Structure 1
Amino acid sequence: MRFPCEIISEPFLARLRSDAAKYLYKKGYSQQSIADLLQVSQPIVSSYLKRKHNTNSEIPEIILREAQQIGTQIGEILDTQGNEGIPQSISIACQSCKKLRQGGGTCYYHKLLNPHLEENCTRCLTSEKLIVLQIDRENIINQLQLIFKNLINTTKYNYLIPEIGLQIVIGTSDMKSQDDIAGFPGRIIKRKTGLPSTEIPIFSTSQTMSKLLLITRKYFPNISGLAGIKTTEWLIEKLQETGISYFEYQGFDKNYENHMIELRENNDFPPINKPFVVVDQGSIGFEAISYVFAEKPNDLTKVFDLLLL
């Protein structure tokens, strides 16, 4: 059994890199400089330069020809733009790959290798379901960035950031694992001077918070966002002042699932579509962290705004 991506990896991408390396070498670049631009090791560049493109009757000429054209084009881009040309080079290679998969050389060769595939196979093309998934995930990343931007635009953001850092995660509507949940790698860390720092949000990070969110979904399937903020007397006063529903526990995250069951069975629990906060007083040796639960990502921003007014 062979997959379409194997055909792209070898010979297409290897041929593409080889032609890009040869173009740059002819322009006077050293092997190490070429390696830096192609983001490979110097010995690999050496092998690219020695490679002879022998005709292989099994591989459609269209794949080899496309690889040569794109490789030369990428070489020209890297020659004129240096590292700044890497994003454009990646885009060109990806577009070429898509073209070859839409009834092109990749399809032809793949069907030769897998004769049991139907004539109009479209398994490797982007389906409507994948497009919806991509849009959903892009929206989540954008929402996390917006939450961070709104947070640091307030003057009291440090009131919410624990010493170990602030964690915020948002999951897809059908989240099933950590891979379906996005957060900030390394947490949002406060500084003595200047704004808090963080990395760009990504999926499959924040293992602990992702686990907590998945457990939460078992008992509150409407919840999609979770934030871990600093527990203080100030926080409790602000929750009372703003009317945000909250519940107090001791060592909440030590027995998280049982506490979620208790919350679910609590007669005083707020309406299902309202954000709420669990104030954890912590335990010996652990910083006290409170948890903000939200149905919609912008509910997290609303809670932060109310607390920091």
Structure 2
Amino acid sequence: MTVQLPSQIVVERFLPTVRSMLAAELSERGFAQREIADRLGVSQAAVSQYLAGDGGREERFVEQSRMQATVERIAEGFATGRMDDYEALAELLELVRDFEDRGPICAIHEEEMPALEGMGCDLCVRGRDRAVQAEREVLSNVRRAVRAFANAPGVAAHVPNVGTNVAMALPDPADETDVAAVPGRIHAMRGGINVPSNPEFGASQHVATTLLAATTADPSIRGAINLATSDDLLAAVPESLDAVAFDAAYEDRRERLRALFADGVPGVVYHEGAFGIEPITYVLGESAVDAVDRARTLVERVDGS
């Protein structure tokens, strides 16, 4: 992974783009190339390149209506004398801050640093924040767990018809919005695994319900994955994890699970279904990665038996 600061994007992509756009606007207002060069702090040759369309514009900046409005405002201010260099700088800095706050600078930054993708990164704007850092860590853990599950052999056969989800809760979660999971769930497709999107908070209901009951009883349990219940899968559960059954009904499920976990949280809980409810097994762990590792081990034991 290449570490790149957003300031590099500002210097290498935003600045040439805004200079090119300003050069064009000032030229339309009758400024000579020498005057434009003085205003922009570049050489006259650079201005000539900008006006010829060789300035290396970043189109994602050019198409932004706020970028266009800011450039026109600065150019008009220079032309009428109502704006000086200090005021122009203030306008551009405000625009940069806006673009860094989940705007086009943020989008380009994610492309250059894939580790940021899907994390809702706002480090540039708000700095370090423990709550934000915890969210990023949870999302990152779920993404790694999902990749591990999707790449594991044999898991497709254990994905229920309703789909599988991989979830992880924040420390001290209050409700489903504090649990990250995959929107739309993970499904088996042509013998493989289809992951529809990156994890988000609040994307799971049933897996989150089970996980919230577990983490309330034992705060160290913060990860979960659901699989299809089968005799072979349950037979593969080692004594160290323990497999405990519960009633499949949705009504008051979280409260019933809390009561079940009062004497300790097992590594596996399952139900055998009911009318309109598919049999589901939940594998729990200290994180999403831990839960998936346990699930993969169960699948390997089934396939090896």
CA–CA distance in structure 2, aligned partners of residues 183 and 252 of structure 1: 22
Give the conservation status (yes or no) of the 8 Å contact 2:67–2:95. no
Give the conservation status (yes or no) of the 8 Å contact 1:278–1:292. yes
Gaps of at least 5 residues in structure 2 are: 1-14, 26-49, 97-103, 113-120, 301-305
Deviations 1:155-191 (A, max 9, x none): 2111331112111110122323444321112111211
In structure 2, the partner of 1:295 is 286
Aligned to 2:189, the other structure's residue is in SS state coil
1:68 counterpart = 2:92: yes
Whichever residue aligns with residue 127 of structure 2, its letter is T
CA–CA distance in structure 2, aligned partners of residues 158 and 285 of structure 1: 22
| Residue of structure 1 aligned with 2:223, choices 219, 222, 225 | 225
CA–CA distance in structure 2, aligned partners of residues 216 and 89 of structure 1: 34
Give the conservation status (yes or no) of the 8 Å contact 2:181–2:199. yes
* 1:63-212 alignment runs, 5 A limit: 64-68=88-92, 87-88=108-109, 126=127, 130=129, 132-212=130-210
Specify whether residues 296 and 288 from structure 1 end up closer, same or farther in structure 2 by C-alpha distance, changes over 3 A only: same
Aligned to 1:254, the other structure's residue is in SS state coil
Give the conservation status (yes or no) of the 8 Å contact 2:21–2:71. yes
In structure 1, the partner of 2:295 is 304
Deviations 1:8-63 (A, max 9, x none): xxxxxxxx9x958945976699xxxx997249687x787667646659xxx99757
1:246 CA displacement: 1.0
In structure 2, the partner of 1:263 is 260
In structure 1, the partner of 2:243 is 246
Gaps of at least 5 residues in structure 1 are: 1-15, 73-82, 99-124
Specify whether residues 63 and 307 from structure 1 end up closer, same or farther in structure 2 by C-alpha distance, changes over 3 A only: farther
Q: % of aligned pairs identical?
A: 17
CA–CA distance in structure 1, aligned partners of residues 205 and 24 of structure 2: 44
Deviations 1:139-163 (A, max 9, x none): 2222212222222332211133111
Deviations 1:239-288 (A, max 9, x none): 2x56531112331543313422431345xx5xx5xx51111111111222
Give the conservation status (yes or no) of the 8 Å contact 1:21–1:45. no
| Residue of structure 2 aligned with 1:279, choices 270, 273, 288 | 270
Whichever residue aligns with residue 305 of structure 1, its letter is R
Give the conservation status (yes or no) of the 8 Å contact 1:21–1:49. no
Specify whether residues 259 and 138 from structure 1 end up closer, same or farther in structure 2 by C-alpha distance, changes over 3 A only: same
1:216 CA displacement: 3.6
Give the conservation status (yes or no) of the 8 Å contact 1:140–1:182. yes
Give the conservation status (yes or no) of the 8 Å contact 2:166–2:288. no
TM-score of the aligned structures, taking structure 1 as reference length? 0.59
Give the conservation status (yes or no) of the 8 Å contact 2:225–2:292. no
Give the conservation status (yes or no) of the 8 Å contact 2:224–2:285. yes
Specify whether residues 23 and 39 from structure 1 end up closer, same or farther in structure 2 by C-alpha distance, changes over 3 A only: closer
Specify whether residues 166 and 195 from structure 1 end up closer, same or farther in structure 2 by C-alpha distance, changes over 3 A only: closer
TM-score of the aligned structures, taking structure 2 as reference length? 0.60
Aligned residue pair count = 238
CA–CA distance in structure 2, aligned partners of residues 134 and 24 of structure 1: 40
